[in-house]
Every structure is written in C-alpha cells, then in structure tokens.
Amino acid sequence: MKQLIKEIQSEFQNHFTGNYLLVNSPGRVNLIGEHTDYNEGFVLPAAVDKSIVLAISANDTQTARIYATDKEQLYKADISSEIKKSDKEWPNYLLGVVDQLRKHGYEVGGFDCVFGGNVPIGAGMSSSAALEGGVLFGLAQLYDLEIPPAEMAQIAQKAENEFVGVQCGIMDQFVSLNGKEGYALKLDCRSLEYEFYPFKRDDIRIVLCDTGVRRELASSEYNVRRSQCEKGVSVLQNFDPDIQSLRDVELEFLLAHESDLDETVFRRCKFVVEENKRVLQACNDLDKNDILSFGQRMYQSHAGLRYEYEVSCDELDALVDIAWKIEGVFGCRMMGGGFGGCTINLVKEQNLDHFISEVSEQYLEKLGQKVKIYQMKVAGGTHLIHNSEVSINAQTSS
Ligand code: GAF
C-alpha cells in the first residue's frame, strides 16, 4: 500500500501543485446476499485491503482536472454549469459524483485529482464504487460538506446509475464508504440501517479465485434480472397489495402462487426470497461463531445463483466444484453480479497452501486457463490516509 500511495503522491506532484488530501477508498467482498440489494433486501459485504488511492485538492477554478495513473491520461472538465458526460468512460465515475452532489444541493468548485489503485478491475470487487466513494469523500472534506452516511452512499450509487449508466444497487457504494476493519456489514437495503458483525479469525482466510472472465453480457443480463424481479412483484401484488418488493415476500406465499407466475420469473423470485433469508441466517451463524453452517449457506447461495437466478458461468461453477472437494474449505460461491469475475472462498489457514495449489492445478486441467488468486483482509471504509501511512516528503494538508 505504501508503494501505491507514493506513486499517487509523485504523480500528483508531476501534474499539479500545492497541498492535497490523500484518500483511501476500498474495494469489497460480499460474503452472502447476492442480487438482494435492488430487491430492498439484506446483504453482508465487507470492505477489504485492496483500494483506490486518491490525491485531491481544491484548485480555485471551475475546472475538474483528473489524472488516471493506470491509463496515464489527464482529463479536464468545465464544471461551471451543467456537468457534461465524457465520451471516455473513466472520467464519468468522478464527474457523475460532482453532478449528483449538486443535485443533492451540495456546492463544490474545481479540483485537481490523481487516482490509482490495486483493486483488480472487472473482477467483481467494486473498483468503480471505490472510485466514486473516494472522490465523494475527498470533495466532502475539501468543501466542508456534512453529508450523512446513507446519503453519501446514495449519491455515489446515483452517480453510477445516471452518469455511468449501470443500474447497480446500493451495496457496493455503501460498504466501501462505511466498512469497518475486522467486521462484515449487514445492510438493510430498504431502511439503510446497518449493523457490524465481527469477521476476524486468524484461522480463516478470505481467498478470491478470479476466472479472468469479463463479460459484456453482465450489464444487460443484470437489467433483465432486475425487471424479472419487478415483474414478479407486480403479479404478487394482485394477491397482497402490501408487497412493495421481493423483500416482503415469504417463501410459502411465493410457492402458493407459483402457477400465477411465468416459470422463469418464479425461479428468479424464489432465489431472491431464499437468498434474503440466508443472509439473516448467516448473521445468526456469525453470532454463534458457527462458520461451518455459514459456509454451507455460501454453497447454497451459489447453487441458487447457478440454477435459479442463472447468473453464473462454466468457469465460476468449475471453481466452486473444485473448492467443494478440497479439505479445509468452509464455503465458496460466485461473488457479485455474475457471468465472470471471482469466487469467494473461506479457507482454513492451515490448508491455504494446499488450496492454492489444488485450485490452480485443477482449474488449468479443466479449463486450460490459469486462475488468479488473491487473499483479502477485512478493512475499514473510505478514510483520509493517516500520516503514518505516508512517505516523509508528502505535502498533504490533512
Ligand atoms: C453488482 C451490483 F453493483 C450490486 O449493487 C449488486 O446488485 C451485485 O451486483 C449483486 O449482488 O455488484
């Protein structure tokens, strides 16, 4: 991390002048609760120790000057009046935040910003939410904006929905901004109330296995799933007008109305209703420190995502099938929107080396491709980087 921070500082000094704030904005894992956020249900993600780092300062103009270290590109945008979308994709993650801040009644002026990170891109670890939350947090600090935590997450989510054009739910932005070191965050995606559950055991590692698959399909199919859930709700409302979303549907009620629903819509709804329940049960498991039951629910979640919600793919299924047979794996499932990206695995510390070599070997054998493996620690949410994390020559203004 120190190396990354140093690189961002040095790029800031190459492109801009003066003091700046340094912000660390983390990626996330999701332990359980997939495709439940936009159904107003529950999720159990955690922020991790892979982040986007930003150096940011106010520049006394009405221009946003932003530099992406991975792309080695500088972008300038006039923000004196209505914010215009860029025809490049990456600046829109930042400009969308400025646009949403203004729409929520918060005034910000021009700024200089350099950012880069070590969150694997496109792997389902929410590098985009980390970037949105990071620039939002930095601007709120620079312009003394007092924005409540839930509204921060809503602003970042809306930036992605409206400026980037991805109809994501609120989970990623919320946990990236509000995560806590050593804890998973249970979020009620309707009320936006949240609770922390300790998730720190020296004997268990969080390991992500990256298929390397990045599919365009993900975004269009994501929207199809959303509308299938809405379709289900609109039919079920005919039998109970109090239902506002799948969050309000009990499994028995759904089963009783199976024949009223289109067959595919029924399966989508069934997965969401069951997954929602699994999150609550998984939180009970954590309360009881019952990691075996927790892990079993992860496998059940994957089975539902594979057969009922149909957002998995051969590569993800192969990784879960492999992990299932390896000793010392408590649980494994695909993570995030699906159609590629990573599986999340909870692995016994003492079996870690064996796990890594078995998965690598068997994945190569089954699919003829290499799997990338990342180990994650549960970390804190978006924050100003402390002086102790910074190299001595820093010109930070924190
Ligand atoms: C993506 C979205 F961005 C989240 O909001 C969530 O819906 C997730 O897919 C599926 O659980 O990461």
- CB count within 10 Å of CB 327 equals 11
Residue closest via CA to ligand 1's atom 9 equals 337
> How does pLDDT run across 298-335, given as a tens digit for each residue?
999 999 999 999 999 999 999 999 999 999 999 999 99
Predicted complex ipTM exceeds 0.95: yes
Pocket test for ligand 1, best of 29, 31, 35 (most atoms within 8 A of CB): 35
pLDDT (tens digit per residue) in 159-192 = 999 998 888 999 999 999 999 999 999 999 999 9
Q: What is the pTM of this model?
A: 0.95
Beta bridge partners of 44: 32
Question: What is the 96 CA–ligand 1 centroid distance (Å)?
Answer: 19
Supply the DSSP string of 1-18, one letter for each residue.
-HHHHHHHHHHHHHH--S
Residue 87 CA, ligand 1 centroid: distance in Å: 24
What pLDDT, on a 0 to 100 scale, did the predictor assign at position 1? Answer: 87
Residue 39 DSSP class: G
- Is 143 assigned a ligand-binding role in the annotation? no
Q: What does the pLDDT read at residue 250? A: 98
Q: For each of the domains in the chain, give its residue range(s) and CATH number, in order of start.
A: 2-199+379-384 (3.30.230.10), 205-376 (3.30.70.890)
Chain length of the chain: 398
pLDDT computed for residue 398 by the predictor: 46
Environment class of residue 288 by beta-carbon count within 10 Å: exposed (0-12), middle (13-18) or buried (19+)? exposed
Pocket test for ligand 1, best of 168, 192, 334 (most atoms within 8 A of CB): 168
340 lines ligand 1 (CB under 6 A): no
pLDDT at 393: 46
Say what the pLDDT of residue 397 is: 54
Determine the atom of ligand 1 nearest the C-alpha atom of 160: 3
- Please work out whether the CB of residue 172 comes within 6 Å of at least one atom of ligand 1: yes
CA of 301 to the centre of ligand 1 (A): 14
Centroid of ligand 1 to alpha carbon of 8 (angstroms)? 28
Residue 124 marked ligand-binding = yes
Sign of CA dihedral 280, 281, 285, 287: positive
Cα 153–Cα 244–Cα 30 angle in degrees, nearest 5 = 40
Q: Please tell me the predicted confidence (pLDDT) of residue 387.
A: 67
Residue 11: the pLDDT is 97
- Report, as ranges of residue numbers, the positions in the chain whose pLDDT lies below 70: 216-218, 387-398
